[in-house]
């Protein structure tokens, strides 16, 4: 007769840190792209005032909070949800699913099809958020990887593709 | 397409299958209002590291789990009562059965106890005596099952149970758990699956709902069993087979067991052979005897057995012959792939010819439907000789 | 058989089907420990005498607590609240929904309120807000159909605040769905055609979009086969009982398929055309289905080709070379629309330009197409479509489907 043992849920520190870092980068890149790219600007313009969205991993983080401030500027608002009101939460069901997304083994579309995500908020806002994420991924990633992350790799002018990318990277790194 | 005049169908099972399926468990348990699951598995599966995979899957979830890894091959009521005490004392609220066969039976029957009281177990033994849903039960199948894991059936000691409420609420098919056991076990479960699915698809209770599950099960077995036997490293094939077992269990739970099931079981019990092996031998012989006049639908079987192209190219009057021929060919391919381990006749399975009459009589006597004793004997004799 | 990297499938609804399935409801309710149901329905269903058929079939086995037959064509929050009050007043213990999508959604909404003993439906909106089983709900569809008798979604509109609330939970699924041929025998040809094409679109999109899985595929194939064999026939011959039952089965099978595998651009644009111009959902599906298949051809043409077998039948499949099968499926869908147009006396439209309302007025003026294209960008079904669509792509498809011309494949931007 065997015995029963209780196992408390352990930690996956390395994986969690990796996702946290990728999210930090992504958040700042969204802020950068909002000043550089007209499509990202347009998407945010059509969202309500002070609109904020949180891309996060269940059950408790990491989080990436991005939104429009009082003046309408798009800002990366960090990973702390304390005191922050969000209109939209895109929740990744577990850390492994987040790893699959942030190592580009599953694109956003595939992750959706594979039930890895839960959307808390209005669907039209979620559609806009995913379009923004897609554009930012095209800026950040080399084509060969971006093609795995987005459904249709866009045909951009060389100016947008190369010069835009430089500006997005610069602003992301400098936090502008 | 055949459309019946009336039918009923119910399948409470949710199926999650594929990469990182286990990691969805904390979320799924939460939707079932469960916060502290009790995991039951066998020592063998624990030694193989399967429990470590489960523990890993719960990391970062905040969920505490209890693990019992001593489920024996032949559990009894004594064990169930001990597990009941552990479950209650530990404050658990759901069950996760990892493995197949006896482990799953144990979990299903334990679920009756923890959803009420241990005394309920004897009260609910039999058919359709449970009247409301039990506590959440998750099944994590491996390749060491019998093919009955997702079904409404369970047994312990001398008691047998049949109820849709015994079926798992959630089946999590994760490739990391689908480790190859051995040729006989894999083949037996898959042949049980094939037999059940074929009998649902061709039997008098045929309906579009059960057909959908049966269709998937038949396709997966036909497309993957031989290649997995030949090369157990075929991970995608193994995943497909467990998907088949699950689908067939769901379909089978909605219809009356057919002749291949009954005779296969009877031969297996009488001669200590696996039910799957016997059912696999008997199936084509039985189909040869079933006609549309008796309410069977054999021509359509060619579709899931062989796919669109072969079905479309085969003239209507040739479909039955072609379908049964494919099953005999399948027997031959399995025999070759397994280097003779999966035999094709009851004689090669070492069933004594003298026992056939008795087996036929007993199997036919149990029910008023299906073959009578004489036809059963004819089928057994043909299956004894083999094709 | 296709086996994706990961999938989920569930259909926990008990299905009871037949020419006299309604008579089984008292037993089904007793099994669920209920005997005082409230019937929820609408004036159209009542007018067709269907509620009377239901009550005759069940009155000896249950006590009908209340009958609410005034659900509007669009599920409305005020109505949900009112019906919940009625349920409590009459001390009912279960619900029977008799009708189409709006009745089902309303009943599901009422079930949330009465089961959770709540007054504010909004609190439960979104996904997985419900934590336990609701009161027994029996669904009796009267079209074939929306499939909402087997979906885990309910949509309720708050017309006062111009909000659309969506509820997603496995607990919303009806306990039992009863498919009885009597419920669709009197369905007029135009509605038979439109709701039948709705079912076809569900099954086809479930089979060809990104979340496809083996179990939903099997359900979809069966649905498509039944629709291919029965839809035009029952539109021409409404009294065909067996055909009606076959279509009821098909709609449920298609509902199970898309409930698990989602839908794609046909629904994305269809929802938009419906919300901007009020075009009935089934009509949108019928018109847009061939365009969805054409647009996605470079991504899922091989899947479309497989559908020739269930839709066209074994002989057509065998006679068509592999490379031509996908195009043949698209041609078949257009042919079915033509046949339905004829069988319905011209009332089933084949393209958006000819969609008219009851007074004969055009429902989709060309000037509205940009608005439809823009609205489509906000629909979640887009996630599951194999190819991406931006505003220009949506507009192109709408313009072409307005005229009724085939899509020019070279204009499709391929990803």
Q: What is the pLDDT of residue B366?
A: 67
Q: Which of residues 114-173 of B touch C (CB under 8 A)?
A: 131-133
CB C292 within 8 A of CB C266: yes
Q: What is the pLDDT of residue C209?
A: 97
Q: What is the pLDDT of residue A1?
A: 57
Give the Å distances, CA to CA, from B360 to B256, B287, B378, C24. 19, 17, 9, 37
Which of the following CATH numbers is that of domain C14-183: 3.40.50.150, 3.30.465.10, 3.20.20.80, 3.40.50.1970? 3.40.50.1970
* CA distance to partner chain C, nearest, from residue A121 (Å): 7
- Position B73 confidence tier, pLDDT thresholds 50, 70, 90: confident
| pLDDT single digits (tens) C102-129 | 999 999 999 999 999 998 998 898 888 8
Give Rg (Cα) of chain B. 21
Average pLDDT over residues B139-157: 95
% of chain C residues with pLDDT over 70: 100
Q: What is the pLDDT of residue B372?
A: 86
* CA distance to partner chain C, nearest, from residue A1 (Å): 35
**Domain map of chain C by residue range?**
14-183, 189-411
| pLDDT single digits (tens) B188-219 | 999 999 999 999 999 999 999 999 999 999 99
pLDDT of B91 strictly over 90? yes
Helices and strands per DSSP (H, E), number in chain A: 8, 6
Any C CB within 8 A of B33 CB: yes
For chain C, the distance separating the N- and C-terminal CA atoms, rounded to the nearest angstrom, is 26
The whole-angstrom separation of Cα C373 and Cα C394 is: 5
Q: Does A6 reside within a domain?
A: no
**CB-based contact C127 A126, cutoff 8 Å:** no
* CA distance to partner chain C, nearest, from residue B135 (Å): 12
Chain B residues close to C181, C-beta within 8 Å: none
Looking at the partner chain, which of A1, A7, A114 has a beta carbon nearest the beta carbon of B65? A7
Give the Å distances, CA to CA, from C71 to A125, C140, C164. 30, 15, 17
Q: What is the pLDDT of residue C5?
A: 95
Residue of C nearest to B8 (CA): C16
Q: What is the pLDDT of residue B387?
A: 84
**CB-based contact B67 A114, cutoff 8 Å:** no
CA B44 to the chain's CA centroid: 21
CB atoms within 10 A of CB B382: 18
The whole-angstrom separation of Cα A98 and Cα A140 is: 18
Any C CB within 8 A of A39 CB: no
Residue of B nearest to A1 (CA): B70
CB B275 within 8 A of CB B262: no
CB C295 within 8 A of CB C403: no
Average pLDDT over residues C355-362: 95
Residue of A nearest to C6 (CA): A114
Provide the phi-psi class of C46: left if phi over 0, else alpha when psi is between -120 and 50, else beta: alpha
Q: Does A22 reside within a domain?
A: yes
Q: What is the pLDDT of residue C33?
A: 94
Of all helices (H) and strands (E), which one includes residue C98? strand C94-99
Phi, psi of C106, deg, nearest 5: -60, -45
Q: What is the ipTM of this complex?
A: 0.97
The whole-angstrom separation of Cα A38 and Cα A45 is: 10
Which of the following CATH numbers is that of domain B14-177: 3.40.50.1970, 3.90.320.10, 3.20.20.10, 1.10.150.170? 3.40.50.1970
Tokens coding B339: 């280097």
Which residues are paired to A5 by β-bridges? B67
CB atoms within 10 A of CB B236: 13
| pLDDT single digits (tens) B100-145 | 999 999 999 999 999 999 999 999 999 999 988 999 999 999 999 9
Q: What is the pLDDT of residue C163?
A: 83
Any A CB within 8 A of B209 CB: no
Of all helices (H) and strands (E), which one includes residue A170? helix A164-174
Any A CB within 8 A of B58 CB: yes
Looking at the partner chain, which of C126, C380, C415 has a beta carbon nearest the beta carbon of A152? C415
**Domain map of chain B by residue range?**
14-177, 183-385
- Position B3 confidence tier, pLDDT thresholds 50, 70, 90: confident
Any B CB within 8 A of A8 CB: yes
CB atoms within 10 A of CB C1: 19
pLDDT of B281 strictly over 70? yes
CB A103 within 8 A of CB A67: no
Any A CB within 8 A of C6 CB: yes
Q: Which of residues 160-199 of C touch A (CB under 8 A)?
A: 166
**CB-based contact A1 B90, cutoff 8 Å:** no
Q: Does A151 reside within a domain?
A: yes
Chain A residues close to C262, C-beta within 8 Å: 113
**Mean of the per-residue pLDDT values of chain C:** 96
**CB-based contact A124 C378, cutoff 8 Å:** yes
Q: Does A5 reside within a domain?
A: no
pLDDT of C415 strictly over 80? no
C161 or C6: which leads in pLDDT: C6
Tokens 């992350």, residue located: A149
Q: Which residues contact A34 (CB under 8 A, 6 or more apart)?
A: A40, A41, A44, A73, A74
CATH C-level class of C189-411: mainly alpha
Residues written for chain A: 176
C62, with CB counted inside 10 A (0-12, 13-18, 19+), is buried
Spell out the per-residue pLDDT of chain A, length 176, in tens.
567 899 999 888 999 999 999 999 999 999 999 999 999 999 999 999 999 999 999 999 899 999 999 999 999 999 999 988 999 999 999 999 999 999 989 999 999 999 999 999 988 999 999 999 999 999 999 999 999 889 999 999 999 989 999 999 999 998 87
Q: Does A9 reside within a domain?
A: no
CA A171 to the chain's CA centroid: 17
CATH C-level class of B183-385: mainly alpha
Of all helices (H) and strands (E), which one includes residue B140? strand B137-141
- Chain A neighbors (3+ CB pairs < 8 Å): B, C
The whole-angstrom separation of Cα B363 and Cα B368 is: 10
Tokens coding C247: 């279509």
- Position B31 confidence tier, pLDDT thresholds 50, 70, 90: very high
| pLDDT single digits (tens) C166-222 | 999 999 999 999 999 999 999 999 999 999 999 999 999 999 999 999 999 999 999
% of chain B residues with pLDDT over 70: 99
The whole-angstrom separation of Cα C141 and Cα C99 is: 5
Q: What is the residue range of A117's domain? A: 14-170
CB B39 within 8 A of CB B106: no
Any A CB within 8 A of B43 CB: yes
Give the Å distances, CA to CA, from C12 to B14, B136, B167, C192. 8, 14, 12, 27
The whole-angstrom separation of Cα C228 and Cα C199 is: 11
- Chain B neighbors (3+ CB pairs < 8 Å): A, C
Residue of B nearest to C316 (CA): B312
% of chain C residues with pLDDT over 90: 93
Label each residue of C147-191 as H, E or C: CHHHCCEEEEEECCCCEEEEEECHHHCCCEEEEEHHHCCCCCHHH
* CA distance to partner chain A, nearest, from residue C98 (Å): 29
**CB-based contact B3 C242, cutoff 8 Å:** yes
Residues written for chain B: 387
| pLDDT single digits (tens) C307-353 | 999 999 999 999 999 999 999 999 999 999 999 999 999 999 999 99
| pLDDT single digits (tens) C238-263 | 999 999 999 999 999 999 999 999 99
Tokens coding C75: 């599920």
Chain B residues close to A95, C-beta within 8 Å: 23, 59-60
- In 3D space, the residue among C380, A3, C377, C221 whose CA is nearest the CA of residue B83 turns out to be A3
Q: What is the pLDDT of residue C128?
A: 83
CB C74 within 8 A of CB C155: no
Q: Count of alpha carbons within 13 Å of B195, Cβ hemisphere only?
A: 32
- Position C161 confidence tier, pLDDT thresholds 50, 70, 90: confident
**CB-based contact A127 C210, cutoff 8 Å:** no
Number of domains present in the structure of chain A: 1
Give the Å distances, CA to CA, from A89 to A43, B29, C163. 17, 21, 19
Average pLDDT over residues B327-341: 97
- In 3D space, the residue among A83, A111, A100, A75 whose CA is nearest the CA of residue A15 turns out to be A100
- Where are the alpha helices (H) located in B231-274, listed in sequence order? 235-252, 259-271
Q: What is the pLDDT of residue B301?
A: 98
CB B200 within 8 A of CB B210: yes
CATH number of A38's domain: 3.30.1050.10
Tokens coding B126: 């039999």
Tokens coding C196: 């039948």
Q: What is the pLDDT of residue C162?
A: 84
Interface test with C, best of A152, A153, A155, A156 (most C CBs within 10 A): A152
Q: What is the pLDDT of residue B135?
A: 97
**CB-based contact B70 A1, cutoff 8 Å:** yes
Chain A residues close to C384, C-beta within 8 Å: 109, 112-113
Residue of A nearest to C210 (CA): A113
Q: Which of these ranges, B216-225, B367-376, C250-259, has the smallest mean pLDDT? A: B367-376
- Chain C neighbors (3+ CB pairs < 8 Å): A, B
CB C346 within 8 A of CB C171: no
Residue of C nearest to A124 (CA): C378
CA B93 to the chain's CA centroid: 26
**CB-based contact A115 B26, cutoff 8 Å:** no
Do the bridges between strand B159-162 and strand B126-127 make them parallel or antiparallel, or are there none, so unpaired? parallel
Any A CB within 8 A of B174 CB: no
The whole-angstrom separation of Cα C120 and Cα C125 is: 10
């Amino acid at each position: 007769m065997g015995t029963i043992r209780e196992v408390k849920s352990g930690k996956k520190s390395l994986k969690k840190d990796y996702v946290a870092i990728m999210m930090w980068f992504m958040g700042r890149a969204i802020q950068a792209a909002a000043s550089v790219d007209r499509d990202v600007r347009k998407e945010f313009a059509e969202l309500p005032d002070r609109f904020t969205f949180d891309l996060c991993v269940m059950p408790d983080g990491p989080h990436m909070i991005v939104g429009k401030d009082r003046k309408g500027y798009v800002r990366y608002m960090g990973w702390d949800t304390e005191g922050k009101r969000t209109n939209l939460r895109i929740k990744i069901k577990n850390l492994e699913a987040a790893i699959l997304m942030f190592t580009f083994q599953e694109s956003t579309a595939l992750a959706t099809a594979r039930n890895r995500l839960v959307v808390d908020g209005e669907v039209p806002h979620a559609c806009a958020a995913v379009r923004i994420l897609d554009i930012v991924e095209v800026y950040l990633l080399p084509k060969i990887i971006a093609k795995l992350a987005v459904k249709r790799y866009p045909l951009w002018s060389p100016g947008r593709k190369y010069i835009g990318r430089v500006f997005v990277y610069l602003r992301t790194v400098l936090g502008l | 397409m055949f459309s019946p005049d009336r039918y009923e169908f119910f399948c409470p099972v949710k199926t999650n299958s594929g990469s990182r399926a286990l990691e969805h468990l904390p979320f799924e348990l939460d939707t079932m209002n469960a916060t502290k699951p009790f995991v039951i598995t066998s020592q063998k599966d624990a030694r193989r590291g399967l429990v470590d995979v489960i523990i890993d899957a719960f990391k970062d979830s905040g969920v505490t789990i209890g693990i019992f890894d001593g489920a024996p091959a032949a559990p009894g009521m004594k064990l169930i009562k001990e597990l009941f005490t552990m479950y209650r004392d530990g404050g658990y609220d759901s069950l996760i059965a990892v493995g197949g066969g006896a482990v799953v039976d144990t979990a299903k029957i334990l679920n009756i106890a923890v959803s009420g009281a241990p005394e309920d177990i004897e009260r609910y033994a039999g058919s359709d005596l449970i009247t409301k849903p039990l506590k959440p039960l998750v099944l994590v199948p491996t390749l060491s099952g019998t093919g009955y894991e997702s079904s409404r059936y369970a047994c312990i000691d001398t008691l047998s149970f049949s109820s849709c409420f015994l079926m798992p609420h959630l089946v999590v098919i994760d490739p990391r758990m689908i480790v190859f056991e051995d040729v006989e076990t894999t083949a037996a479960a898959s042949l049980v699956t094939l037999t059940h699915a074929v009998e649902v698809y061709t039997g008098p209770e045929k309906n579009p709902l059960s057909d959908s599950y049966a269709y998937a099960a038949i396709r997966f077995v036909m497309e993957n069993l031989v290649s997995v036997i030949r090369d157990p490293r075929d991970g995608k094939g193994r995943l497909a087979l467990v998907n088949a077992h699950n689908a067939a269990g769901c379909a089978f739970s909605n219809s009356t067991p057919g002749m291949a099931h009954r005779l296969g079981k009877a031969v297996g019990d009488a001669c200590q052979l696996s039910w799957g092996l016997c059912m696999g031998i008997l199936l084509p012989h039985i189909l040869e005897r079933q006609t549309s006049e008796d309410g069977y639908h054999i021509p359509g079987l060619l579709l899931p057995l062989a796919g669109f192209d072969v079905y479309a190219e085969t003239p209507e009057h040739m479909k039955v012959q072609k379908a049964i021929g494919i099953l005999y060919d399948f027997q031959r391919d399995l025999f070759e792939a397994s280097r003779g381990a999966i035999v094709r006749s009851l004689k090669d399975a070492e069933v004594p010819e003298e026992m056939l009459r008795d087996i036929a009589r007993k199997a036919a006597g149990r029910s008023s439907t299906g073959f009578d004793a004489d036809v059963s004997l004819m089928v057994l004799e043909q299956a004894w000789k083999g094709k | 058989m296709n086996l994706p990297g990961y999938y989920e499938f569930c259909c926990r609804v008990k299905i009871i089907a037949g020419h006299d399935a309604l008579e089984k409801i008292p037993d089904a309710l007793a099994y669920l420990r209920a005997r005082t149901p409230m019937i929820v329905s609408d004036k159209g269903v009542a007018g067709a005498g269907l509620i009377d058929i239901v009550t005759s079939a069940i009155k000896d086995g249950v006590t009908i607590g209340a009958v609410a037959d005034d659900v509007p064509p669009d599920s409305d929050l005020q109505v949900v609240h009112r019906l919940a009050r009625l349920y409590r007043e009459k001390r009912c213990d279960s619900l029977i929904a008799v009708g189409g999508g709006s009745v089902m959604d309303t009943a599901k909404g009422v079930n949330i309120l009465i089961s959770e003993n709540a007054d504010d439906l909004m609190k439960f909106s979104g996904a997985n807000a419900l934590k336990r089983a609701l009161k027994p709900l029996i669904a009796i569809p009267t079209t074939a159909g929306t499939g909402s008798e087997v979906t885990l979604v309910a949509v309720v509109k708050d017309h006062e605040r111009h909000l659309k609330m969506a509820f997603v939970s496995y607990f919303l699924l009806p306990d039992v769905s009863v498919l009885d041929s009597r419920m669709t025998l009197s369905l007029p040809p135009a509605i038979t055609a439109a709701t039948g094409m709705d079912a076809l679109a569900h099954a086809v999109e479930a089979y060809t979009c990104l979340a496809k899985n083996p179990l939903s595929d099997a359900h979809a194939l069966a649905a498509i086969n039944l629709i291919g064999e029965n839809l035009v026939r029952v539109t021409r011959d409404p009294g065909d009982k067996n055909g009606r039952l076959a279509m009821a089965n098909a709609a449920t099978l298609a509902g199970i398929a898309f409930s698990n595998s989602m839908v794609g651009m046909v629904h994305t644009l269809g929802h938009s055309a419906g919300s901007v111009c009020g075009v009935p959902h089934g009509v949108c599906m019928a018109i847009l289905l061939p365009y969805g298949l054409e647009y996605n051809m470079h991504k899922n043409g091989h899947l479309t080709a497989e559908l020739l077998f269930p839709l066209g039948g074994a002989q057509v499949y065998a006679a068509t070379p592999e490379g031509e099968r996908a195009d043949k499926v698209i041609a078949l869908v257009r042919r079915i629309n033509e046949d339905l147009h004829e069988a319905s006396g011209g009332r089933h439209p084949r393209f958006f330009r000819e969609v008219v309302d009851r007074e004969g007025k055009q429902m989709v003026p060309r000037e509205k197409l940009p608005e439809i294209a823009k609205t489509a960008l906000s629909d979640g079904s887009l996630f599951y479509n194999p190819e991406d669509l931006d505003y220009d792509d949506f507009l192109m498809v709408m313009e072409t489907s307005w005229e009724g011309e085939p899509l020019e494949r070279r204009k499709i931007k391929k990803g």
